[in-house]
Chains A and B, each alone.
Chain A
Amino acid sequence: MFNHFFQLRRLILFLVLLAGWEFASRFILDKTEATLLPPPSGVVNGFIELSASGELWKHVRDSLRREFIAFCYASVAIPLGIIMGCFKWVNEQVDPIIEILRPIPPIAWIPLSILWFGVGNTQNQFIIFLGIFFPILLNTIDAVKNIEPNLIRAARCLGARGLNVITRVVLRAALPQIVTGIRIGLGVGWMALVAAELVGANSGLGFLINDARTVLRTDFILDGMLSIGIIGLTIDRVIRYSAKKLMPWSRALNA
């Protein structure tokens, strides 16, 4: 009981701000200004309208599908990272390329990618791919390099060799940090996705908020923004939760 009360208490400031916003939009701002900042109740109404017509779900589905497909491609970073972490000469060759490409934000690729792929799914997925790929790759390389050397030795002196060492020890020991890379990657990818959809798509949440701007539906813009935030948070939480469930030992490993 006490705990629940405590949780609710954390919402006090949030609710006060919300009430202030509602009050300001209704009674302080004039009509034109209120169009630019609709009250929370207006945002909720907009949400009901958008979801009842099914439009919101269509955009959510398209954005999530792009994120998912891009993630499937970007997961190549896991085997690549393991190979780079295990074999010094591969790392030597690939590392300079990655060091040059990595600091270029995915968004900077948008103009080039529109010329290459045109406007649409492929271009969007390419931008998201760039956002997801590097965090996974860098975390995987780091994870492999930081494996406790005695774990590898233990495996070898119990008879493990070559591929067995990689599949039974390296991959498992690196897994918690690879998952961290996936979490960060999906987050960066999700941000890149919205940027890519703003300019180069005709569906998706990024498209929705840009499209709403052209028809001055500020409530839809805010609904779209909130959806982007809530979905991004949900993806992160789901991965964290499943990682905890699937790898109960991982906290001990990181300690």
Chain B
Amino acid sequence: MSALKVENVSKIFPAINKSHAVQALQDISLEVKTNEFVSILGHSGCGKTTLLNLIAGFEKPTSGRIECAGKEVKEPGAERAMVFQDYALFPWLTVRDNIAFGLNIKGIDSAIINQKVDHFANLVGLGAFVESYPHQLSGGMRQRVSIARAFAVDPTVLLMDEPFAALDAQNRAMMQKEMIRILAEESKTVVLVTHSIEESINLSDVIIIMTRRPGRVKEVIRVPEPRRMVEDTPSYLEVRRKIRDLISDEHDLSDVS
């Protein structure tokens, strides 16, 4: 069953003042199956974040249709929780209350909320920090809170917008490993936007490569051994070379135009 369906979606940002209208996305179609991890990979400015914002319901497509679990997307909702690059944690809430935010809105019994918060805090390895405030945590830990907060509302599709881009290299590698571990414990449908080829290979079942603006789907690649890819093995290198070629193609095109 498909958790998410994007059908012929285009997005044009209208001209404001002296700037021209910009076609960010052109005729994008894709499908994400339940418990599948899909990465959207492309150069900056290719419209990948715009696509994610459309899926989240923050913006509306100019044409086309987005469906989540069979229902058309019209506004943001907890079935499409997002993990942001800048974490977007509520600084006035403790880790516990941040994770509980969506559950409180649903009006769930507080005993169940506490139980769930403990579960997801432990899942992301922050069981000992639930009473801390976000500003007391490191970048990697904040992103763990953000992941736990999104998992807690049990979204049909978890959206991740360059979630590890603000972290240093070591933390980024560690968070990718953590993400693999978390998904092994708690399966989830995920759409990840990234510009890192390695990140997309490490985490995904499917990688969608986008063209430069206007963003279109250039190629869909299936990762041979999802989340078990070992770096520098022949199959890893082969996938990476393939993606690199596709991406650098794009580079040349834009230089000419």
B92 contacts A175, C-beta separation under 8 Å: yes
- B94: nearest residue on chain A (CB-CB)? A249
With a CB–CB cut-off of 8 A, which chain B residues contact A250?
A: 91-92
Which residues of chain B from 189 to 217 have any CB-CB distance to chain A below 8 Å in the complex?
A: none
A45 CB-CB contact with B under 8 Å:
no
Known: A151-B90, A249-B133, A249-B134. A158 touches B81 (CB 8 A): yes
Task: Provide the bound-state CA to CA distance between A169 and B90, in Å.
Answer: 8
Which of A153, A164, A173 interacts with B58 by CB under 8 Å? Answer: A153
B153 contacts A158, C-beta separation under 8 Å: yes
B84 CB-CB contact with A under 8 Å:
yes
Known: A157-B77, A158-B153. A173 touches B92 (CB 8 A): yes
With a CB–CB cut-off of 8 A, which chain B residues contact A103?
A: none
With a CB–CB cut-off of 8 A, which chain A residues contact B82?
A: 153-154, 157
Which residues of chain B from 202 to 256 have any CB-CB distance to chain A below 8 Å in the complex?
A: none
Which residues of chain B from 116 to 137 have any CB-CB distance to chain A below 8 Å in the complex?
A: 133-135
A158 contacts B134, C-beta separation under 8 Å: no
Residues 238-255 of chain A, each 1 if its beta carbon lies under 8 Å from chain B, else 0: 000000000111111100
With a CB–CB cut-off of 8 A, which chain A residues contact B78?
A: 157-159
A156 CB-CB contact with B under 8 Å:
yes
Residues 81-97 of chain B, each 1 if its beta carbon lies under 8 Å from chain A, else 0: 11010101111100000
- Within the complex, the shortest CB–CB distance from A194 to chain B, in Å, comes to 36
| Count of A interface residues, CB-CB < 8 Å | 24
A55 CB-CB contact with B under 8 Å:
no
- Within the complex, the shortest CB–CB distance from B140 to chain A, in Å, comes to 17
Task: Provide the bound-state CA to CA distance between A154 and B75, in Å.
Answer: 13
B60 CB-CB contact with A under 8 Å:
no
Residues 138-169 of chain A, each 1 if its beta carbon lies under 8 Å from chain B, else 0: 00000000001011011111111000100011
Which residues of chain B from 63 to 109 have any CB-CB distance to chain A below 8 Å in the complex?
A: 75-78, 80-82, 84, 86, 88-92, 101-102, 105-106
Task: Provide the bound-state CA to CA distance between A169 and B80, in Å.
Answer: 19
Interface residues of A, Cβ cutoff 8 Å to B: 148, 150-151, 153-160, 164, 168-169, 172-173, 175, 247-253
Q: List 7 A-B contacts (CB under 8 A).
A: A148-B88, A150-B84, A153-B82, A154-B84, A157-B77, A250-B92, A252-B134
Interface residues of B, Cβ cutoff 8 Å to A: 56-58, 75-78, 80-82, 84, 86, 88-92, 101-102, 105-106, 133-135, 149-150, 153, 159
